A and B are shown apart, each in its own frame.
Chain A
Amino acid sequence: MLELDGITRHYRTRHGVVRAVEGISLSVRPRSTMALVGESGCGKTTIVKMILGLERPDAGAIRFEGTDVGAMNSAGLRAYRRAVMAVFQDPYASLNPRLRVGTIIAEPILAHERPSRVNLTKRIEEMLDIVGLPATAARLYPHEFSGGQRQRIAIARALALQPRLMVLDEPVSALDVSIRAQILNLLQDIQDAFGLTYLIIAHDLALVEHFCSDIAVIYLGRVAEAGPTAEVFAKPRHPYTQALLAAVPLPDPDHVLSEAAAAGEIASALNPPVGCRFHPRCPHAMDICRTTAPLLAGDPHRIACHLPRT
């Protein structure tokens, strides 16, 4: 469905070259939900920008249904932009406050088609119905809705052109616990009903385990570990994945948190460590980790680590 083949993106800044994304290869199967997980500054956002065509990779290729996005002509790109839609984290920032909800949902449709007025109204109402909002919502403005309802509007807008892939960038992190579950269930229903593929950026590992079929753990622009969520969570093999899982505070007073698993903080992408980028924080670091970057190996559960495979 979507294939990232060794994509790399560097930014030149005053302070030097920021190596935001360094040779990421991932493939997303049709109708699956792939999670990208990692700390701030690991390159998740840059990856999303490249998938949405807002940035071009310096090296490597993004293939959508077998076609290289970088080599598409303008008609191909138009079709690609219809097929790939995004929902962002903050529903307060991602909806234009001066447009009525109906206009917000109509925008992507009008950018690609010339529907009749009657047809357009019908489609807007259909979208609102799918996300659980009444048809009357179309005449109101975003500020008249709560955070959860706004996220429903953002989902309706993303669905309007019947995309095949949806990129969800922290779709529930800005919402309250009681509303999160509503939105996650809605996204699940939509995926089941329309056979969509999701790529979701998330930091809540419990949510990832619950919601995603596949996971890729990113550290400083590289994939540390990737594979089917069930396998990765049952047997995390990269020390960074293990550290992430050990650090999640569980809603259980008897659960003991471990901070020993990853000391210190993520390095800067301006000056990433040589060898394995995780080695300065890794409790198992060996000599080879300081000199040689480990290759991503294994199938379907892939790990980039020098530790003996167990």
Chain B
Amino acid sequence: MLLSVRDLQTHLHLKRGILRAVDGVSLEVSEGETLGLVGESGSGKTLTGLSLLRLLPKGSGRIAGGSIALDGQELTTLSEVDLARDVRGRRIAMIMQDPMTSLNPVFSIGDQVGNPIRNHDIASGTQLRSAIVNVLTRVRIPSPAARLSDYPNQFSGGQRQRVVAAMAIGCSPRLLIADEPTTALDVTIQVQIISLLRQIQADTGAGIILITHDLGVAASLCHRVAVMYAGKIVETGPVRQIYRSPAHPYTRALLDAIPRLGTKRRRLAAIPGQPPSLIDPPAGCRFAPRCPLRMNKCIEPPPVTELAPGHTAACWTLA
């Protein structure tokens, strides 16, 4: 197993109290596999991704428990120096959402794509230049050698996202975390980036964690999907099972709430209410206050039930 996360707890220490942003998340990613981490804002999906790289808000963010194993090596006990040298950007790399903010406007593209390659001693001197050209070619930037000294503002939105991807794959990481990689893009460009991610995976065999709120993007790219709600994974399974036979009431409500192409105009099934505060979350099932199938039992934490091989959900109705 490439990545194995067990019972991860990430807390944010705020003035108002301790926010349990990630509260007991377990997940696995194999080589060449894409896991979708799907959920709404505040569900903890981005902080789960950042926890893997220990890139938490300075001062307030802290991994409070659980384990993260990459190729069998425990990361939570690794020193900051070792993590920065061997893991961050090297074995695990991240593709951020917004290429406008994840690229530095005052450094050339060649500089920025070359940075991780140089820092991790993958290549230097004349080899560095050809390594940069090579990685830009792989993300299909046209005539890359001529563009090394260009700045981010000289690239279009879609090309900037390709450059951000190039920065991530420069050191041939085994695991890529892509946080909403297509959200800022137009639909015809989005489809180009989706196919680029597929191609990167086919070329390198890397595992990918795709963090997204878009159920369409997750369906088109993922092998398995984990649905997060209020800091917990409520359902995990192979992509077809999640979309064809969703088991958790939240997953079902989410799939019912989105309009679909090819369906007639009708009322959407809205989910009443809103997600709970994670400073003082409800005991038991966190979706219970909004759940149409709520029972008395739901004030206790729901057990995780295996519905089919690899398909699990945490709900009393399934227990």
Contacts and interface: CB of A to CB of B under 8 A. Distances in A.
A206 interface: yes
B101 to A, nearest CB: 16
B268 A209 contact: no
A178 B187 contact: no
A254 B220 CA distance: 8
B19 to A, nearest CB: 16
Most buried by A among B159, B192, B214, B239: B192
B28 interface: no
Given A176-B40, A181-B268, A248 B259 contact: no
Given A178-B254, A185-B270, A247-B188, A211 B265 contact: yes
A177 B158 CA distance: 25
A145 B270 CA distance: 19
A206 B259 contact: yes
A207 B254 contact: no
A266 B158 CA distance: 10
Most buried by B among A39, A178, A185: A178
Interface string B191-226: 110110000000000000000011111111010000
Given A40-B186, A249-B219, A206 B258 contact: yes
Contacts of B18: none
Contacts of B255: 251
Contact of A257 (B157, B220, B240): B220
A265 interface: yes
A123 interface: no
Most buried by B among A180, A243, A246: A180
A92 to B, nearest CB: 12
A176 B41 CA distance: 7
Nearest to B268: A181
B219 A203 contact: no
Given A185-B268, A209-B259, A210-B263, A39 B188 contact: yes
A211 B257 contact: no
Contacts of B272: 182
Contacts of B262: 209, 233
A26 interface: no
Contacts of B84: none
Contact of A205 (B40, B261, B271): B261
B41 A210 contact: no
Interface in B222-262: 222, 239-240, 243, 253-255, 257-262
Most buried by B among A148, A205, A262: A262
Contacts of A39: 186-189
Most buried by B among A40, A146, A210: A210
B258 A177 contact: yes
- Nearest 9 pairs between A and B by C-beta? A249-B216, A210-B259, A181-B270, A181-B268, A178-B271, A176-B40, A39-B186, A247-B191, A182-B270
11 contacts: A148-B274, A177-B40, A206-B258, A210-B265, A244-B187, A249-B191, A257-B191, A259-B191, A261-B188, A265-B156, A265-B157
